[in-house]
Amino acid sequence: MNNIVAFRHFSFDDDFAFRSWANVNGYRLSVYDPAIAIPFDLLDDLDLLIICGGPMSVYEEELHPWLADEKRFVQDAIQRGKKVLGICFGAQMIAELLGSPVYRNAHKEIGWHTINRTQEEHPWFDNLPQQLVSFQWHGDTFDLPEHTQLLATAEACRVQAFAYGEHVLGLQFHLETTPACMAAMFEHWSSELIAAPYIQSESQIRSQFGQSELSIRMLHGILDRMVTA
């Protein structure tokens, strides 16, 4: 049985996309909050680590001291050749651990935005179209780490997806976010929905809730390829 571990960074983050995939395939999924505790012995039997998004920034260790342990765990997983998927905050953490700075982007991306694949080929991206629309909610970005492949880009934020070798993938965008989770984001973070070039209104985002089903199917395809590679 494959052992999947996910790190979740806010209480109302919805693990439906990961749990439904794990259940269908008979995998074991364990979800942890790194701010509470990370059992480091998880590394021994780990088949895939998923680092989910979060409202904090990876460079805010003074505000969130627990980030040091999470970074150490992720670094160990990468060095041991474990398969790692980082999403948004998770992708930024991987980038930092690979030596790239993480910083405020010129524009926040909130809502459904177009993402374009590059000419780089990677087996984990085989199921994705050349152009797709995905949900986004982030204000940070990062430089492409050395020795990685740039797999996808977008107008407001250049690095949307990258791969490090055959075992690490970073996605800036959110294929996993459900309408229920988006609705909770509106309740908690509505102050971020201001008039700006790449920020959509709540009504604009809600009008495209139907896209989440396709997004989750694309994510499941990526996860299938990661686990079976």
Residues with catalytic annotation?
88, 174, 176
**10: three-class secondary structure by DSSP:** coil
d(CA 64, CA 224): 33
CA atoms within a 13 Å half-sphere pointing along the CA-CB vector of 193: 16
| Vertex 71: Cα angle to 160 and 27 (nearest 5) | 75
Give me 112's structure tokens: 């459904």
Phi, psi angle pair for 59, to nearest 5°: -95, 10
Q: What is the 3-state secondary structure (H, E, C) of 124-185?
A: HHCCCCCEEEEEEEEEEEECCCCCCEEEEECCCCCCCEEEECCCEEEECCECCCCHHHHHHH
Query: Could you tell me how many residues make up the chain?
Result: 229
Amino acid at 181: C
Give me 128's structure tokens: 């994705």
Give me 6's structure tokens: 């996910």
d(CA 173, CA 168): 16
